[in-house]
Amino acid sequence: MAFKLTPGQRSAVRVLSHLLCLAPAAWLLYLAITDGLGANPAEALLRSLGDWAIRFICLALAVTPLRQWLHWNAMAKYRRMLGLYAFFYASLHWLSYVVFDMGLDWPGIIADLVNRPFILVGTLAWLILLVLAITSIPKLIRLMGGKRWQWLHRSIYAAAALAVLHFWWMRAGKNNFDEVWLYGSIIAALLLARVVFRVRKARLQHVVKS
């Protein structure tokens, strides 16, 4: 059953969606101002922003299966919005590393990229999200064409896989993989749901043609 909203309801949902997406950043800012991030605020901020980046990647990936299940095509616009918020939190995460962890020491950052694989993998995931964010500009979408844009934006699965690998490497030192398995399982399940839907759709089209 498809959902239909009035223009006023759509505007209210859009505003509420942005407020909810910005709430984690606002809460972390409040904690930073009130010294609520613990004994090592830089590390707490860095890790919290990384957690929210991967959570928003999962939310963005969940939109398509939910849209197909609920038959609510309007949900497609929220995939773009959630993807942009994933980039937003990933950018804050990366900037926190550059500013607070490395103190804008660019030679040190380059050395980290070379010598610490999990930093390189995380940066690659962020770069993919950067490309996806840039190509989400409406003019570029029209310039690229729908099919090319959709093909390019499937690389969010690559960004998700790299993000999980980055997370796994980071947690390997403490042998704490519970959240890694959680996010990895969610992403794998969402990818499987997408594949299953596409296979069923192809079979139905084949039956109709025959």
pLDDT confidence bin for 210, thresholds 50/70/90: low
pLDDT tens-digit readout, 27-70: 999 999 999 988 889 999 999 999 999 999 999 999 888 887 77
pLDDT confidence bin for 106, thresholds 50/70/90: very high
Asked if pLDDT for residue 78 goes beyond 90, the answer is no
Write a three-state SS string for 43-105.
HHHHHHHHHHHHHHHHHHHHHHHHHHHHCCHHHHHHHHHHHHHHHHHHHHHHHHHHHHHCCCC
Average pLDDT, the chain: 86
Residue 17 makes CB contacts below 8 A (sequence gap 6+) with 78, 81
Let me know: does 141 contact 149? Beta carbons within 8 Å. yes
In this structure, of 105-114, 126-135, 174-183, the range with the lowest mean pLDDT score is 174-183
Asked if pLDDT for residue 74 goes beyond 90, the answer is no
Q: Name the amino acid, one letter, at 41.
A: P
Let me know: does 169 contact 121? Beta carbons within 8 Å. yes
Let me know: does 82 contact 133? Beta carbons within 8 Å. no
Q: 1 or 93, which is more confident? A: 93
Nearest-10 crossing angle of helices 117-134, 106-115 = 110
Token digits for 36?
Answer: 């609520």
* pTM value > 0.85: yes
Q: Name the amino acid, one letter, at 116.
A: R
Asked if pLDDT for residue 1 goes beyond 50, the answer is no
Token digits for 125?
Answer: 């995931």
Percent of the chain whose pLDDT exceeds 90: 43
pLDDT, mean of residues 1-16: 74
Domains and CATH numbers, the chain: 7-209 (1.20.120)
| Separation of alpha carbons 22 and 16, rounded Å | 10
